[in-house]
Amino acid sequence: MDGLVFPAGAEGGPFGRRQRHARAGRVPVILVTGFLGAGKTTLVKALLDSPEGAGTVVVVNEFGDIGIDQALLAPSAESRVALLGNGCVCCAARSDLEQTFRTLLTDRARGLIPPFQRVVLELSGADDPTTVLQTFLNMRALGREYHLQAVVAVVDAATGALALADNPEARRQIALADRMVLTKADLASEAEIAALTAVLRDLNPAAPLLTAQHGRIGPDLLLADSDLALPNLLVAEVVHRPDLATFTLDLDRPISWTGLTAALGLLCELRGADLLRIKGLVRLDGCQGPVVIHAVRHLLHKPVELAAWPVGAASRLVFITQGRITRDQVSALFAVVGELTG
Amino acid sequence: MSLARADAAPAAIWNFRLLSHHELNGFGGMGEGLSIQIAKDGRRILWAAHESAPKNFTGIDVTDPRNPRIVVQTDLPASHMRSNSLEVTGDIMAVAYQCKTYGQQPAGFELFDVSKPEAPRSIAFFDASGPYSRGVHALWFCDGEYVHLAAGAADFQSRHPNDDQFYRIIDVRNLSKPTEVGRWWLPGQREGDAAPPLTRHVYRDNGFRAHNTNVYPQRPDRCYLGYIDAGMLILDISDKSQPKVISRWDNSPPYAGMTHTVLPLFERKLLVVADESNVDNAADWPKLIWIVDARDEANPVPIATCPMPPVADFKNRGGRFGAHNLHENVPLPTSWFSDQIIIGTFFNGGLRAFDISDPYSPREVAHFVPEAPRGSPAASIQLNDVFVDERGIVYVVDRFAGGLYILEMDF
């Protein structure tokens, strides 16, 4: 069979070209989540008004009949605002989401809209981001053209605690986030902010948490790539809530691709619906650089081998799960599969 | 005179970072010869051939790519000459000389000692002039021993005037006395050939003649030859005195000829073949970069082309639109190597990089389309040639006026 396929080449690995960044030539997408009134639009608008925000396309999911988000975004005429139809992006409008993102590419190719550098997708407060994440991981949907750069969750200091207590969607948004922004801090007491911060840290121990000043944050908080080389913050399993858990699995030794896919595959088969997100860099047998692993529920994105390990990075997977999947179970599964696959 | 600027042809940049731009003292019309020398004092000198008279070549200190500085800029001895192509190996530079019409002189190539970059010193001149020759259009000089030419010769009369240049191998191991050791032309090209006269292309007769003559240390017994309207060829040059054809692949007609570059990716068993656009306003569209399956070198099979931006968006910007030069993985320590990324110039389509890790499905991963340079008669950018050094710094030049653009890759 050797003659029937093209060799990877001197510069290629099992997964193709070793890339400087996971995104390579794809368009970065920044997902902004947060409950209604959390201040997402204010943050996005501030980005559009900054020099760093030039070349940004904003896709917003219009909520309700009034289109209030459109009205707020419209003055930033430099960037194009595309509105989806009414309702929820993740449910009824998922095909619209794909269509909107495809139209952006074809319009850009045809010169109908100016060249753009990135897309900010603002989800409505009630959206479950996992469905949207899957759309960007699926090579048959948008994963070939777009790269999920980061999930940024916006939390209102005044009402966030209530939203998190009452809504599983709000908790999932926090758990899935790569970065978190606390807004309207001037409307809450120090004690309230401390209590809310504790809740956020329970749900998401590792993501950077910043406080917006008058609705503004440094542009990097929105624009930077998600940090896959996570600091070693998740040393212990964190299961303070019955519905959500976040834990890491350190892979001290290189793992084979067969072993990794067998372990993840079995986990997916048994509990795929409860795997909200798996992300990390893995040292794989036969690969020089780290391999980016990114999965949401049953869907594993095509692996990308990076040219080099980021400074301080380790071979490690972060699991964000629901339904009481524990670190011990996953660790045991990887251990057994590792032994069986040698 | 009015200049079309950014409004007419907006600058676009994606996954490249522009580090600097140098208009080369107002002589920014550059050819297709770019090569890097590391001087003995450690300076990194980019040598660049000019597209046409009055300038011959320019040496630019690019040690700091954000601050390029000209160290020398030379003049051609005659206005009917153009240098167009050059290559540097160690401290020796070979520069091609082509004249406007047949019989003019000096036509051939010149060897320079550039050990003192400020003062290039001529070592030898190889004469390729003749009553039916315009001299040397392009050359390849990477092993310090042989110069591979697309050239005419004093003793070569082609049947058609467009067919004057063929493949010549020149031994320069004695630098002061370059000597021809081999040559090849397309049977039927030369007056007196037993083969019948060549069938001319109807759309546009660009000629049946050599362009790029690439030879790599992985296969020193092969020449990868772009032959304009005759397509591409792989030659066996294990006996340099008698090159033999191993295979030929010709996309034209129905395409519009001008096969320019054949870049072998040895470990992947692929060839990357580039056409050249040479008609304004995309009248010869599409001029493409082809991915060719070379697992059997005797039977090259095209399997894909690199995606182009929409012709409708570019054809009226002025000048040419379509493929031209590639970064050719020049086998020198100062050259970047990739068998996954192909980088090429597309005249007003700018500079474009393609990921060919899946050879059946090349994808564009970066582009750079600068504004129309000041004073360009094309009123648009006309990016002509590209070279990437081993640091991954990208040097790209405009054909008419823009000079040199230096970029970083970010993909």
**pLDDT, tens only, B254-297:** 999 999 999 999 999 999 999 999 999 999 999 999 999 999 99
What is the chain A residue with the closest CA to B336?
A11
Q: Is a pLDDT exceeding 90 seen at residue B404?
A: yes
What is the distance between the alpha carbons of residues B200 and A171, in angstroms, rounded to a whole number? 72
Which stretch of A145-154, B33-42, B68-77, B389-398 has the lowest confidence by average pLDDT?
A145-154
Cβ pair B177, B123 in contact under 8 A: no
What is the distance between the alpha carbons of residues B245 and B271, in angstroms, rounded to a whole number? 16
Which two structure tokens, joined as six digits, stand for B43?
């300076």
Full DSSP string of B99-145: ESSTT-SS-EEEEEE-SSTTS-EEEEEEE--BTTB-BEEEEE--SSS
Contact A115 B14 (CB under 8 A): yes
**pLDDT, tens only, B230-263:** 999 999 999 999 999 999 999 999 999 999 999 9
Which two structure tokens, joined as six digits, stand for B187?
């049977």
Q: Is a pLDDT exceeding 70 seen at residue A265?
A: yes
The helix (H) or strand (E) run that includes residue A73 is helix A68-73
Q: Give the pLDDT score at B9.
A: 43
**Closest by alpha carbon to A80, among A52, A60, A102?**
A60
What is the distance between the alpha carbons of residues B301 and B307, in angstroms, rounded to a whole number? 18
Q: What is the distance in angstroms between the Cα of A139 and the nearest Cα belonging to chain B?
A: 14
| All residues at 6 or more sequence positions from B287 whose CB lies less than 8 Å from its CB, including other chains | B256, B258, B275, B276, B277, B322, B323, B324
Q: What is the mean pLDDT of residues A97-109?
A: 81
Contact A12 B365 (CB under 8 A): no
* Plot region of A287 (φ>0 → left; ψ -120 to 50 → alpha; else → beta): beta
Q: Is B48 exposed, middle or buried (0-12, 13-18, 19+ CB in 10 A)?
A: buried
Largest CA distance in chain B: 57
Q: Give the pLDDT score at B63.
A: 98
Q: Of A2, A6, A149, A305, which to mutate for an interface test with B (greatest number of B Cβ within 10 Å)?
A: A6
Distances in whole angstroms, Cα of residue B305 to Cα of each of B214, B290, B291, B364: 21, 4, 6, 11
Q: What is the mean pLDDT of residues B85-110?
A: 98
Beta-carbon count within 10 A of B322 CB: 29
Q: Residues of A with CB below 8 A from B14's CB?
A: 25, 115, 117
Q: How far is CA B160 from the centre of its chain?
A: 23
Q: Give the pLDDT score at A149.
A: 92
What is the distance between the alpha carbons of residues A315 and A318, in angstroms, rounded to a whole number? 10
Q: How far is CA B365 from the centre of its chain?
A: 22
Scanning the structure block, which residue is given the tokens 């929820």?
A88
Q: Is a pLDDT exceeding 80 seen at residue A51?
A: yes
Full DSSP string of A197-258: HHHHHHH-SSS-EEE-BTTB--HHHHHSPP-SS--TT--S-B--SSSEEEEEEE--S-B-HH
What is the distance between the alpha carbons of residues A185 and A162, in angstroms, rounded to a whole number? 15
**Closest by alpha carbon to B189, among B210, B160, B169?**
B160
* pTM score of the predicted model: 0.90
Q: Give the pLDDT score at A97.
A: 81
Give the ranges where B250-368 is alpha helix by DSSP (H).
311-314
Query: For helices A168-176 and A190-203, what crossing angle results, to 10°?
Result: 70
Cβ pair A276, A297 in contact under 8 A: yes
Phi, psi (degrees; rounded to nearest 5) at B161:
-60, -25
What percentage of chain A's residues is helix, strand, coil (to nearest 5)? Answer: 35, 25, 40
Q: Is a pLDDT exceeding 80 seen at residue B7?
A: no
What is the distance between the alpha carbons of residues A199 and A256, in angstroms, rounded to a whole number? 37
Q: Residues of B with CB below 8 A from A57's CB?
A: none
**Closest by alpha carbon to B344, among B306, B372, B392?**
B306
Q: Give the pLDDT score at B347.
A: 98
The answer to whether residue A139 neighbours chain B at the CB level (below 8 Å) is no
Q: Give the pLDDT score at A129.
A: 85
The answer to whether residue A99 neighbours chain B at the CB level (below 8 Å) is no
What is the distance between the alpha carbons of residues A296 and A135, in angstroms, rounded to a whole number? 10
Length of chain A: 342
Q: Give the pLDDT score at B269.
A: 97
**pLDDT, tens only, A105-128:** 887 777 677 778 888 888 877 777
Cβ pair B398, B28 in contact under 8 A: yes
Which stretch of A234-238, A314-318, B6-10, B254-258 has the lowest confidence by average pLDDT?
B6-10
The answer to whether residue A216 neighbours chain B at the CB level (below 8 Å) is no
Beta-carbon count within 10 A of B301 CB: 12
Contact B355 A7 (CB under 8 A): no
Contact B267 A114 (CB under 8 A): no
Phi, psi (degrees; rounded to nearest 5) at B62:
-115, 25
Which stretch of A37-51, A220-234, B259-273, B355-369 has the lowest confidence by average pLDDT?
A220-234
- Angle formed at CA A268 by CA A142 and CA A342, multiple of 5 degrees: 110
**Closest by alpha carbon to A126, among A246, A229, A38, A242?**
A38
- Which among A16, A21, A109 has the least Cβ separation from residue B310? A109
Contact B267 A9 (CB under 8 A): yes
Q: Give the pLDDT score at A131.
A: 86
Q: Give the pLDDT score at A221.
A: 81
Q: What is the distance in angstroms between the Cα of B338 and the nearest Cα belonging to chain A?
A: 6
What is the distance between the alpha carbons of residues B307 and B46, in angstroms, rounded to a whole number? 30
